A and B are shown apart, each in its own frame.
Chain A
Amino acid sequence: DSGVTQTPKHLITATGQRVTLRCSPRSGDLSVYWYQQSLDQGLQFLIQYYNGEERAKGNILERFSAQQFPDLHSELNLSSLELGDSALYFCASSGKDSTDTQYFGPGTRLTVL
């Protein structure tokens, strides 16, 4: 158990819909990262937040957005969903240094029908 929690575990929805994925980092960690794992793209970095502020952006679509709240939990919002958004979405957290180890949550499996 990494100490990072993600809810829900599974999500099934239809095209065009909007969903919210939630992540609680390890106690004391200030950074939260979101990654997408899909069969065709592999594991890709989406976005990083540090203590409530966006710090880095990767291959995140404009239909996707994220935020980190004062209690440091984070939400990833995916809208206008397409079939190709079906993937495993991981959250990771780390400490204040950029080189701190990232600990991953169990992931949320999103299926878009």
Chain B
Amino acid sequence: AQSVTQPDIHITVSEGASLELRCNYSYGATPYLFWYVQSPGQGLQLLLKYFSGDTLVQGIKGFEAEFKRSQSSFNLRKPSVHWSDAAEYFCAVLTGTASKLTFGTGTRLQVTL
């Protein structure tokens, strides 16, 4: 069965520092991968997605993610974090046949000034 692991429950970074959030997936076929962000009291906003092609995908708000099949990973990165990036970040895999998203447990990002 498909699954997503986000090993870091909580990460704190200083504003202006770089960020990497880890995501590992387990899925037999070619995965469709997503990163969503949830700000307090808000819904989920799509940051970026990977379906095929270039393994480095660019998203909104200056985020990017790299798909590494050999490591079953889809890590999210940002070169310079802003205080407004403080939120919870969810990695998800889409199972093509069922069209459902399977989410990781999320990583809460705290940004210190």
A residues adjacent to B (C-beta < 8 A): 2, 4, 31, 33, 35, 42-45, 48, 55-56, 58, 90, 92, 94, 98-99, 101-107
A90, B100: Cβ atoms closer than 8 Å: no
Q: How many A-B residue pairs have CB under 8 A?
A: 54
- The verdict on B32 contacting chain A, using a C-beta distance below 8 Å, is yes
* Given A104-B44, A106-B42: A99 in contact with B100 (beta carbons within 8 A): no
Please name all residues of chain A whose beta carbon is closer than 8 Å to the beta carbon of B43 when the two chains form the complex: 2, 4, 90, 104-107
**Chain A residues positioned under 8 Å from B102 (CB to CB):** 45
Q: B residues within 8 A CB of A48?
A: 98-100
Given contacts A43-B90, A99-B94, contact A56 B99 (CB under 8 A): yes
Q: In the complex the two chains form, is B46's CB within 8 Å of A103's CB?
A: yes
A104 and B96 contact, Cβ closer than 8 Å, known pairs A43-B103, A45-B102: no
